Structure 1
């Protein structure tokens, strides 16, 4: 669990796991990068913390920026012509330095941070069965 400080934010992932579970997690920015902690709420991932260095976070931001107002799909069943944001994250940053690789909970947390900080905007979606789409 992250130290309780003013700069720690607790937010929710977009959508629900399996259409049922909301994902809550906490994150904060430090001089070492963006630290994401999935050990709270329903977004548990073996209590792991993920640190994305400033350079790694910039790679993600650069990937989003290259989309130039493009929409990214987040839910299953998105049209083939629309890039999946989860797949794009792994393409933009193939081997994160935190050493845990990529999994759905950390990808969902990153997307929520990007939306929370204004990098991406929720375009439409919400309920199970409705596509979740984000726009740059």
Structure 2
């Protein structure tokens, strides 16, 4: 089982290396392997893109989709990296200070005025200057 998971997460070549010496992006994949070892039906991942570079986030997105599609697990993703959220999610729930402000498909949520206001802000002066 461990060897299969290491292969799935592209870690097989590192099977005999101590995790403590691995780069940060690889450690994130080791954590996914640990979580998947119990064959969960629900996998909660909290801020997995934190500290990852662009290439590592792209790899993470592929892995999360593969977990969802081929392992039969529901992935509950808590994340501030909106690019990752929009790439891997079928449904998005947006919170603003603990209050739900939107729920729906990634495309719908991206267009939601409350989400835009909460995450991009508004500048009332811009509207006033345009008049």
TM-score, length-normalised on structure 1?
0.30
Higher Rg:
2
Task: Choose between structure 1 and 2 for higher RCO, CA contacts under 8 A separated by at least 6 residues.
Answer: 1
TM-score, length-normalised on structure 2?
0.30
From the two aligned structures, give the one with the greater helix fraction: 2
